[in-house]
Amino acid sequence: MRVFDTKVQHLKYKVLREVARQAWAGTLLQNMLDIPKIIVPGKVPTMRCCVYKERAILAERVKIAIGGNPANPNIIEVIDIACDECPAAGYSVTDSCRGCLAHRCEDVCKRGAISFDHNYVAHIDKTKCIECGQCAKVCPYTAIVNRKRPCQNACKIKAIDIREDGAAEIDNSKCISCGACVYQCPFGAIMDKSFIINVIDMIQKSENNTNYKVYAVIAPSISSQFSYAKLGQVVSGIKELGFHTVIEAALGADMVAAAESQELAEKGFLTSSCCPGFVDYIKKSFPALVPLISHNLSPMATLAKWIKSREPNCKIVFIGPCTAKKAEVQLEKVKPYVDAAITFEELQALIDSKDIDLTKLEEDVLDNASYFGRIFARSGGLSDAVAQALKEQSIDFDLKPCACDGIEECKMALLKKSKNLLDANFIEGMACVGGCIGGAGCLTHGEKNKAQVDKYGREAMEKTISSAISILKM
Amino acid sequence: MKKVTVCIGSSCHLKGSRQVVEMLQYFIAQNKLDDKVELNGTFCMGNCQKGVCVTVDDEFHSVTPDNVKDFFDKEILAKV
């Protein structure tokens, strides 16, 4: 059984699980300082130069696992002592350069940045190089490599700078909290703040859902996760944790698709508002386009609003693949509806902190949404759903969607739109490649995930958006 | 005002809560009870085996799409 993609995720999970164990037992305050030693007990280091550094870093991880630095508004935080200060020279020539005759690197370089020494070995003039990477592409010996930091490489919107002391630093004025760097840093030096202890507190104070009910609203990308158990068992596991019930966020997606298609027909152009990373990106990097963002709340918030309008004192926890959702729930317009957001990674830690074996549980059911609400989890799904909603509501509108898979494609579309060069009237923006199934808070990221989401979509009892949401019109 | 709440959680949904809601809405409109009956939905009443779960002023009833007419006549129409 392989639960996570990387050992970094596993380490983070161990911290979260231990924090959760202590929180359930009510002993977090007493034992918090001992958690690093519980995780790294012996004297032999396994990750760093010595166990003391390992524990010092773990202490920082514990801090982030209990909510992180309150003075930092960003959900994503750098643990500077964990940052390896990787070399970041950009493109450079390695000793694999044979000093060949062809010199394709020189021919392809438009800036004339490549010169040769007396052995005909290539050198890059950093004052001329623009890091375009063409030389690396054409070298038959793959002798030119990009020594870019994994975090900077992951961050396609260039929100990571390097401090003078070499550690990575996040520029909060650009960062959209997508978590790409969190997932990619090989040292686990960047983490997303966790609010699991708030969730545990909510569950405990509900006194078995008698004082108020605690609802779990779960993202449709769950269908590609927890592959070692059945989805119904995951639902049972979530209830076992103490949630009153589990509801599909995809039902909120059905509601959004219906409303967004109407808004689109009325305004003639829209960008989607489902992905908090994408919305934040427009706000931070394309402020002139802000009026074009759909006024709909995200599926999570739309559904939560519906629930809270009928049961104002309940608590709602969103469980999904997304680190940016943790930032979204802090927005003024979302705060009243969603009480906390956690990731699938954190859900796994919570389940294991109570020693719940999902594979031994009965299968519960999860069926609220339609096929179209469910496929929001993957790139292109939202556009398909809006097309369907237009059709179902007989709205005469010639939809020309531009489905952007990942923040780089979003950037291109927004750039074009800002110059009036975009041949589309609806931008579906997903900050993560693949859509939500590529989210940083997923346990695993795989090729099959998209197929899993589509399969889960087809299993929905309700076949249309209007049939799924008709029940909510009470 | 009679308060009728239908469970629309997953389990009841699979047992036909949508049909139950649609039929209740139809009967309420047909009998012009709009101002006497307030129909609402909730996600899960914790009684999944007995779904579709419906409460009338907090009194529990187990309803199916097949017996919703009987239920409406006895528990709602006769009592408003």
What's the rounded mean pLDDT across residues A357-374?
Answer: 96
First to last CA, chain B: 8
Nearest CB to B39; choose among A365, A366, A474: A474
**CA separation (Å) from A337 to A135, A205, A281, A309, A311?**
52, 19, 23, 9, 11
Q: How far is CA A149 from CA A113, A139, A145, A168, in A?
A: 22, 22, 12, 9
pLDDT exceeds 50 at position A259: yes
**CA atoms within 13 Å, Cβ hemisphere of A238:** 34
Triad A349, A352, A354: Cα angle to 5°: 115
Mean pLDDT within A204-219 = 98
Neighbours of A258 (CB within 10 A): 24
Handedness of CA A376, A381, A386, A389 (dihedral sign): negative
Name residue A144's beta-bridge partners: A93
Residues 6+ apart with CB under 8 A from A123: A93, A114, A115, A116, A117
Which residue in B14, B25, B40 is closest to A367 by CB distance? B14
The beta-carbon neighbor of B18 closest among A307, A311, A471 is A471
pLDDT band at A48 (very low <50, low <70, confident <90, very high): very high
For chain A, what is the mean pLDDT? 96
ipTM confidence: 0.94
User: Which tens digits make up the pLDDT trace of A3-26?
Assistant: 899 999 999 999 999 999 999 999
B35: domain CATH number?
Answer: 3.40.30.10
Q: Write down the pLDDT at residue A163.
A: 87
Q: What is the distance in angstroms between the Cα of A400 and the nearest Cα belonging to chain B? A: 33
B13 touches chain A (CB under 8 A): yes
Query: How many angstroms separate the CA atoms of B36 and A367, rounded?
Result: 31
Placement of tokens 């129409």 in the chain: B77
How many distinct structural domains can be found in chain B? Answer: 1
Residue with tokens 């469910």: A374
**How is chain A split into domains, by residue range?**
1-66, 90-147, 196-470
Q: Is-contact A4 A333, C-beta < 8 A?
A: no
What CATH number is given for A90-147 in this structure?
A: 3.30.70.20
Structure confidence at residue A1 (pLDDT): 45
Q: Where are the beta strands (DSSP E) in A103-176?
A: 114-116, 122-124, 144-147, 160-162, 168-170
Count CB neighbours of A277 within 10 A: 27
Tell how strand A168-170 and strand A160-162 pair up: antiparallel
Instruction: Provide the residue range defining the domain that includes B71.
Output: 2-79
| B41: contact with A, CB 8 A cutoff | yes
How confident is the model over A160-186, as a mean pLDDT? 94
Please tell me which residue of chain B has the smallest CA distance to A469: B18
Q: Given this model, what pLDDT does residue A178 score? A: 98
Q: What's residue A2's pLDDT? A: 64
Please write the tens of the pLDDT for every residue from A449-461: 899 999 999 999 9
DSSP string, A12-68: HHHHHHHHHHHHHHT-HHHHGGGHHHHHS-SSS-SSSSSHHHHHHHHHHHHHHHTT-
Average pLDDT in the B19-25 region? 96
Look at residue A365 and tell me whether its pLDDT is greater than 70.
Answer: yes
Contact A300, A249 (CB under 8 A): yes
The percent of residues in chain A predicted with pLDDT above 70, rounded, is 100
Q: What is the rounded average pLDDT of the residues A232-240?
A: 98
3-state SS assignment for residue A420: coil
A319-352 pLDDT, tens digit per residue, is 999 999 999 999 999 999 999 999 999 999 999 9
Share of chain A above pLDDT 90, in %: 93
Measured between beta carbons, which residues in chain B are less than 8 angstroms from residue A252? Answer: none
Which chain A residue has its CA at the smallest distance from B11's CA?
A: A365
Kindly determine whether residue B44 and residue A244, on different chains, have CB atoms separated by under 8 Å: yes
A235, A365, A467 ranked by CB distance to B14: nearest: A365
pTM assigned to the model? 0.93
Nearest-by-CA chain B residue for A311: B42
Q: How far A365 CA lies from chain B's nearest CA (Å)?
A: 6
Helix axes A51-65, A7-25, angle to 10 degrees: 60
